Amino acid sequence: MKLRKVTAASAAVLALALTATACGGDDSKDSGSSSSGGGKIKVGIKFDQPGLGLKQPDGSYAGFDVDVATYVAKQLGYKPDQIEFVETKSADRENALARGDVKFIAATYSITDERKQKVDFAGPYLLAHQDLLVKTGSDISKGTDLNGKKLCSVTGSTSAQNVHDTIAPKAQLKEYSGYSECIAALQSGAVDAVTTDDSILAGFAAQDKYKGQFKLAGLKLSNENYGIGVKKGDTATVNKINTALEKMVSDGSWQKAVAANFGPANYKNEPAPKIGVIVK
Amino acid sequence: MFDFLEGYDVLGAFWTTVKLTALSAVGSLILGTVLAAMRVSPVPLMRGFGTAYVNIVRNIPLTVIIVFSSLGLADIFGMTMGAPDDFKLQGFRLAVLSLVVYHAAFVCEALRSGINTVPVGQAEAARAIGLSFSQSLRLIVLPQAFRSVIVPLANVLIALTKNTTVAAAIGVAEAATLMKTMIENEAQTLAIAAVFALGFVVLTLPTGLILGWLGKRLAVKR
């Protein structure tokens, strides 16, 4: 009797899971076939980067990537309530696009040659640089100051590799699986600086709980051209997104979004990049 | 097809995995044996401690233990593990410490089940000829217990080998860390993941086969 109940329960769960996935499939088909109006559009963002893409406790999303994605989706003909944000972690971005899980990805996605072989990029829509976040009052002001200092970055990230290879091979590098851990280490004084793209750092420093504690060192250690990832070969969407991005810059929404998301962290943003121009 | 492997020290990363595994295996075997001895000892306080340790530690996720060791012990309490100026070594030692602490609980339980296979008469006979508790455990009970739990211990060892990947969370340069780096650079998730999956099969499959064979040969026939 008990066994039968368990079987029935698991059958119900299975059926539910199947219908749920079926719904998901329909949605993505909708967003894939119709380019304007009707249905939903799925957009890939990050959920864990304040200032860029952050899922807030109340379930809403905030950040510069979110603002850009919302603007672009609007130009493609989708109202804000028709946008469904999907978390695309760094390792999963290429596959999510190839499978058609998302229509496009705006998630601190730097345009590189290796990635261009797998996906197409619209944009760039923001030029970021690798930078350091230090405590207010720290004396680190140039790259060579880092030798002998303690640095924190995320395991495997491009920034962490840059520190090893070029910027300061003698710096002690601590690696964590997320930037939040690094920020905690910086706050407790276990490391002297956190390094990654200045946009990401500015997002953390602009959070209410850290206001006034950290500042950006303002070193331009690398150029990161953030693009919007689109499925390989989908030139029509790339062109539409490029048009949308140009419009976002020309009508002032771009500047407004930058100021709103990175404002309080002494972040001097680059002027809006020209579409198709990649700063090496 | 495998040109994405160029420029990466895949073997070096797996060597770190092997070192992590070997050191943690030795450490957890020692600590686990001590814990098992405590759990069967006649002293209630020691029994209580052993039971509490096992039940607490084996129910905390390994990720939590490892991240706590780095964020809590090292960053906040300033525990440097004898390497204050070398984050690489510090991270490695913290990872070994966490892996030992965690897997000792599982070694302890495997071993305790082995102790339970030794007939009570053996321990009674040991007492009868005047051996103390520690002597009868060391000379009579544990040697028989170990021989009957080689296969369960092999399972713990295989799990330990795979669990070393959690050390990537604090940046220890082992296989999973390199995998993250490669995925970040090469945008070839599936091929890279397949290479690393194969690497772990190469590490763990022989372990299982050899220890399985040993387990059969050495088991005490009753």
- pLDDT, mean over chain B: 92
The H-or-E segment that residue A30 falls in is: helix A2-33
Q: How many CA atoms lie within 13 A of A192 on its CB side?
A: 18
Structure tokens at A230: 């689109």
| A-chain residues near B67 (CB < 8 A) | 176-177, 181
Q: Do A114 and B185 touch (CB under 8 A)?
A: yes
Q: Which letter, b or e, does each residue of A20-50 get, where b requires 16 or more Cβ atoms within 10 Å of its Cβ? A: eeeeeeebbeebbeeeeeeebbbbbbbbebb
Kind and range of the H or E run holding A83: strand A83-87
DSSP state of A165: I
Stretch B82-103: mean pLDDT: 90
With an 8 Å Cβ cutoff, is B12 touching chain A? Answer: no
| Cβ neighbours of A115 in B, within 8 Å | 187
Residue A43's DSSP bridge partners are A85, A104
Give me the residue from A119, A172, A190 closest to B74, CB to CB: A190
> A117 to chain B: which residues are within 8 Å by CB?
187
CA B39 to CA B56: how far, in whole Å? 14
Which residue in chain B is spatially nearest to A95 when comparing CA positions? Answer: B189
β A193-197/A150-154 pair status: parallel
Pick out chain A residues at pLDDT < 50.
1, 21-37
Q: Is the pLDDT of residue B194 over 50?
A: yes
> Best residue in B184, B185, B186 to probe A by mutation, most A CBs within 10 Å?
B184
Please identify which residue in the block is written with the tokens 């059926």: A15
Contact B87 A150 (CB under 8 A): yes
What tokens does A265 get?
């962290």
With bands split at pLDDT 50, 70 and 90, how would you rate the model's confidence at B222?
confident
Residue B175 in contact with residue B110, Cβ under 8 Å?
no
Q: Which two tokens stand for residue A186?
A: 């910086």
**Residue A124 in contact with residue A109, Cβ under 8 Å?**
no
- Tally of CB atoms within 10 A around B182: 24
Instruction: For residues A173 and A145, give the distance between their C-alpha atoms in angstroms, rounded to a whole number.
Output: 14
CA distances from A108 to A52, A88, A197, A268 (A): 8, 11, 9, 18
Q: Taking a C-beta distance cutoff of 8 angstroms, is the pair B73, B109 a contact? A: no
CA atoms within 13 A on the CB side of A80: 8
Tell me, what DSSP letter sits at residue A171?
S
**Mean of the pLDDT values across residues B206-221?**
92
Interface of B with A in 23-82 (CB under 8 A): 67, 70-71, 74-76
Q: Which helix (H) or strand (E) holds A114?
A: helix A113-116
Residues of chain B with C-beta less than 8 angstroms from the C-beta of A161? 181, 185
Report the alpha-carbon distance of residue A223 to residue A79 in Å, rounded: 33
> In A, which residues are within 8 Å of B178 by CB distance?
156
Touching check for B186 and chain A: CB below 8 Å? yes
Helix (H, G, I), strand (E, B), or coil: what is residue A209?
Answer: helix
pLDDT cut 90: percent of chain B above it: 77
Q: Are the C-beta atoms of A111 and A275 separated by less than 8 Å? A: no
Of B130, B103, B114, B137, nearest to B23 by C-alpha is B103
Q: At A159, which helix (H) or strand (E)? A: helix A158-162
Q: Check residue A30 and give its pLDDT.
A: 41
pTM given for the model: 0.78
pLDDT digits (tens, 9 = 90+) for B137-169: 999 999 999 999 999 999 999 999 999 999 999
Mean pLDDT throughout B193-214? 95
* Rounded Cα–Cα distance for residues A60 and B22 (Å): 46
Query: Whole-angstrom Cα distance, residue A271 to residue B6?
Result: 37
A vs B: CB pairs below 8 A = 81
Residues in A whose CB is inside 8 Å of some CB of B read 90-92, 94-95, 112, 114-115, 117-119, 150, 155-158, 160-161, 172-177, 181, 184-185, 188, 190-191
Closest chain B residue to A91, measured at CA: B183
Minimum distance, in Å, between the CA of residue B40 and any CA atom of chain A: 37
Searching chain A, which residue's CA lies closest to the CA of residue B192?
A91
In this prediction, residues B121-140 reach a mean pLDDT of 94
Contact B183 A156 (CB under 8 A): yes
Q: Which two tokens stand for residue A222?
A: 């690398």
State the SS3 of chain B.
CCHHHCCCCHHHHHHHHHHHHHHHHHHHHHHHHHHHHHHHCCCHHHHHHHHHHHHHHCCCCHHHHHHHHHHHHHHHCCCCCCCCCCHHHHHHHHHHHHHHHHHHHHHHHHHHHHHHHCCHHHHHHHHHCCCCHHHHHHHHHHHHHHHHCHHHHHHHHHHHHHHHHHHHHHCCCCHHHHHHHHHHHHCCHHHHHHHHHHHHHHHHHHHHHHHHHHHHHHCCCC
- pLDDT of A35 reads 45
Give the pLDDT score at B176: 92
CB contacts, 8 Å: A176 with chain B: 67, 70-71, 169-171
Q: What's the one-letter identity of residue B70?
A: S
Band of residue B15 on the pLDDT scale cut at 50, 70, 90: very high
Kindly report the CA angle at B75 between A137 and B183, in degrees rounded to 5?
Answer: 95
Which residue in the set B169, B183, B190 is minimally distant from A176, CB to CB?
B169
Cα–Cα distance for residue pair B175/B161, rounded to 1 Å: 11
Is residue B183 within 8 angstroms of chain A, CB to CB? yes
Contact A55, A46 (CB under 8 A): no
pLDDT at B11 over 50: yes
CA distance A155 to chain B (A): 5
Nearest to A175 among B171, B179, B189 (CB): B171
d(CA A155, CA A149): 18
**Dist. CA A61–CA A42, nearest whole Å:** 14
